[in-house]
Structures are given as structure tokens and as C-alpha cells.
Amino acid sequence: MNKLSSMRGAALAAFTLTVVTFAAAAACAQSLSDIKPPAEPLVLLSQGSFFVGGRTVDTEDAGWSNMEDLFGEPFEAGKVTVDQMYVQFQVPEAPSHPPIVFMHGGLLTSKQWETTPDGRMGWYEYFTRQGFPTYLAEQTGRGRSGFNGTIFNQVRRGKLSPDTQPNVYLGTSNMAWKVFRFGPELGKTNDGLQFPVNHVDEVYKQIIPDMIETQVPSLMAELVTPETNNPTVDNIAALAHDLGGAILVGHSQSAGFPTQAVLKNKGGIRGLIQLETGCFQSLTDEQVAALAEIPILVMVGDYLGPNPGASCAEEMDKIKSAGGDITFISLPELGIKGNSHMFMQEKNNLVIADLLVDWVNEHVDRENR
């Protein structure tokens, strides 16, 4: 595999989405009535939400020029906050593990880790029940973290030309079906697929516009370069520091964020979990040395062909040579078959969660005894 195709393979696997629709109908009754309450109550020491990071920028195009009637003044100019990261959390009654921070993939939000499309318990609640103070971080530019909207109003008003406006990435059904590896083409499922495809509409509802181009100049470069100016990476690095230690988990578009966060040198990162790739090809010796200090788990699902670890081989070799602790798990090679890119939502999602907990017990907790 040459470097370009390796990068592309890593980047492709490192991306996200979800869509399709053979039964698009308003499925609200179904999705609410599908909710399956757990057998035992959940007892929380605390729960809540807060923001990490954020900076203030000036705008002269806040979008209200047509609303002067409403407010009596135009409210066009002023300061707005951008690049903040919304974080929700819950702490179990008796924490038995370090805090764990989950970061969703492209086109998705932290909903990815909550109730599954077929109404079962997601990893947010499950890790809490396993004794982890559990944090869901929402990428800057997405969902409740917001984005910098000024440029859209500048284009609308002719201050900037339309081709300077960021792309708004939408996840179509055919794209999601293929990129999530539900099957070779829309409506055809891979053999033994664990994803509950009869609820695929519910995962399509999780897909929202991806505004990452308002944050970084090139998504492709972000996925394969260990250095980044993506504010989300600064924010999760700050979060791990401020928590006094945390395990960072990325998936797909964000799979490399935990590694990139280590290289910000803020400290506090006690473990890295990269779901569905996130490996880098061009790490410097200094970067390798930093990564060799922290236990790393890389995990991929099924349907990736004969050598799913190929794109991680170089990074793994370097880190191991430097005395690091990096584990690569291909689920089908463990005998766990049929998992797509979205295994945190699939029928055996808690079996896979247990593999992560086992890895934490062996590689993270052990270091701190």
C-alpha cells in the first residue's frame, strides 16, 4: 500500500455519516415507543453540562438587518463567542475508573453515544454504570457547540463572493450506507451485519450538517496530520487537563483527535482510544516519544478486507520501538463478526464496550495502582 492510498484508506475509514431512507415516514411514535428502560435504576452522584474554551470575535453581519422592526435597533455589529465546546457529563455513585471522554465522528453529535437507533442503552449510560465518570464532548462547529456564522451573512450581502463560503457537508443516505459499511450499496446489507437496519431511519436523523470547513481549511489534511489548529483538539486537551486525568475516545472523523490532543502537551491524558482508525504516517521522533508515554487502543470493525491494521502498522511499530503500549484490535479477528463503522450502536454494542473496559483495566488502571 503506497502512502497516498494508505492515507486515503485511513482518512476514508476515519470519516463518518449515516443516511438512506426506504421508509422515511415520521417515525416518532416508533422511536419513542422503542425505548427500552433498563432493569435497574441509574444512580448518579452528579450530572450536568459546561463549556470548554471559546473565544470572542467581532461581527458586523449578525443577520438582523431585516428585523429592525422587532428590536427597534439593528443589532448587526458586536461580539460573538466561537470555538467553544459543549460537554455533558454524569458521574456514577461510586466511581471506580478514571473519567472517560467520548468524541463523536463527522456529521454526528454526542447523540451518537446515547440511546441506540433501536432504543437500547448506549455507551454513555453503560460506561457510567461501569463506574466511569463519563463525558460527551461535542465538536466545535457542530450541534450545541455552535459555529462561526458571520461568513454566511457576508456572502448573502455580497461582501464576499459565494465561492469563499465554506462547504456545508451533508450526509446522504447512499454515502452513509457505504461509508458506515452497512453494505456495498444502499439497501444491500453486508452478511451478518450487526447494525439494526430496520431502524436505519433513526441513525439518519442523527446526521446533521457538518460545518468543519468553518473551523479548518482542509478536512483531508486534518485527518492525516498530527499537528492541527482544530479548536476541538485544543478543547479536549484542556478538558483532560482540567479533569485531572482522563481517557480520550475518538471515532471516525475524530479518531485522531486524542492523539493530536496529546501533542498539545497539556498533560492529563491517561489513555487514548481510537475507534475506526486515526493513525498517522508521519510522526516525528518527539511525537512518538510523547505517544509512547500513554496506553493506546486502536479498534476497528468488520468488512475492512484482508489487512485492516495496514494503515496503523507504521505508527504502531514506531510507538512499540519507543517502549510504548499500543494495542490493535480487529473485532472479526477476535471472532466478533458483523460490526460496521458504527459498532457503538449495534446489537452487540455492550459486548464491544466490555472489551474497552477490559483494556482500561489492563492498561490504564494498572499504571495507577
Residues 347-366 that bind a copy of itself (CB under 8 A): none
Give the single-character DSSP code of 118.
T
As measured in angstroms, the least distance from the Cβ of 317 to a copy of itself is 25
**Which residues between 304 and 323 bind a copy of itself (CB under 8 A)?**
none
As measured in angstroms, the least distance from the Cβ of 86 to a copy of itself is 6
- C-alpha of 164 from chain center: 27
59 contacts 80 by C-beta, under 8 angstroms: yes
Single out the residue of 120, 132, 135, 30 nearest to residue 344, CA to CA.
120
Task: Choose, by CB under 8 A, the member of 6, 130, 134, 145 that binds a copy of itself.
Answer: 145
**Which residues between 191 and 250 bind a copy of itself (CB under 8 A)?**
201-202, 204-209, 219-220, 235, 238-239, 242-243
d(CA 353, CA 122): 10
**Which residues between 38 and 77 bind a copy of itself (CB under 8 A)?**
38, 41-56, 59, 61-64, 66-67, 69-72, 75, 77
d(CA 87, CA 164): 31
d(CA 82, CA 149): 9
**Which residues between 73 and 112 bind a copy of itself (CB under 8 A)?**
75, 77-81, 84, 86, 88, 91, 93, 109-111
- For position 1 contacting a copy of itself by CB under 8 A, the verdict is no
As measured in angstroms, the least distance from the Cβ of 279 to a copy of itself is 16
Backbone angle region of 321, left / alpha / beta, with phi > 0 → left and psi within -120 to 50 → alpha = alpha
Sort strands 134-137 and 85-92 into parallel, antiparallel or unpaired: antiparallel
**Which residues between 263 and 282 bind a copy of itself (CB under 8 A)?**
none
d(CA 364, CA 296): 9
As measured in angstroms, the least distance from the Cβ of 324 to a copy of itself is 28
Q: Identify which range of 157-165, 288-296, 306-314, 342-350 contacts a copy of itself by CB under 8 A.
A: 157-165
